Amino acid sequence: MPASDSLSICEAGLGACRSISTAVPTSASGRLGTLSVAAGKTAPYCMREFYGYNPVAVCACSCFQSGTEGVDPTVYKYVVFPPAPPQVGTSYYICLKGMMFPYQQAVGSYAYVQMCCNSVTVACVCHPGPAGVCTFDHGFTYDSNDVVRVLVYTRASNTACPGGTCAYVCICSVTSPVGNDYYLAAPFCVGVCTG
């Protein structure tokens, strides 16, 4: 979106490049409040909040998976995603939210999450059974030259139990150095569950 001049809620009149509803791809609404919420804005809503608005495209590549989800006692997935910051050469802060639960599983079961930026581990969390839900947030800085890798790994000690083990990681926010929040054009989550 432009940094100044006129904006429109819909495309008519000013064209797609100045249309808020075109810039917020997951919302077909013509209402400013709905568009603002979808873009991560908070009340009171106003059109000038969209000056310079730039969605972040998140692409994910599932590189490897072992085991069948919901069937096998051990399942893991390795995913690579290269987030593209809105401005090349600028660093951005990314927040990832994880959730793990070895549901109704005895000792020996676990859910495991590892996140790396390039070849450096930035977070590594293991949650053993039998325990409740474990949630965590972790943030780190990346730029357009960085590649983020996520490994989610689960092991169930007894597949005869009605429950299993699961591990999930989702991007919860991307923030620029000056504090602007960027809407995720394609929400990214990766998760696996055992049988």
Domain match, 86 and 47 both = no
pLDDT for res 32: 85
pLDDT for res 59: 60
pLDDT for res 195: 73
pLDDT for res 119: 81
Domain match, 89 and 182 both = yes
What residue type is assigned to position 6 of the chain?
A: S
**pTM tops 0.75:** no
Measured CA to CA, the distance from residue 163 to residue 129 in angstroms comes to 11
Of 15, 30, 53, which residue is a domain's last? 53
Closest CA to 181 of 43, 89, 86: 86
pLDDT for res 171: 73
Domain match, 134 and 154 both = yes
Report, as ranges of residue numbers, the positions in the chain whose pLDDT lies below 70: 11-17, 25-29, 40, 54-62, 81-92, 102-104, 131, 144, 162, 172-188
pLDDT for res 143: 73
Segment 104-108 long-range contacts (CB within 8 Å, at least 24 positions apart): 104/130, 104/161, 104/162, 104/163, 105/129, 105/130, 105/156, 105/157, 105/158, 105/161, 105/163, 105/164, 105/165, 106/130, 106/157, 106/158, 106/161, 107/157, 108/155, 108/157
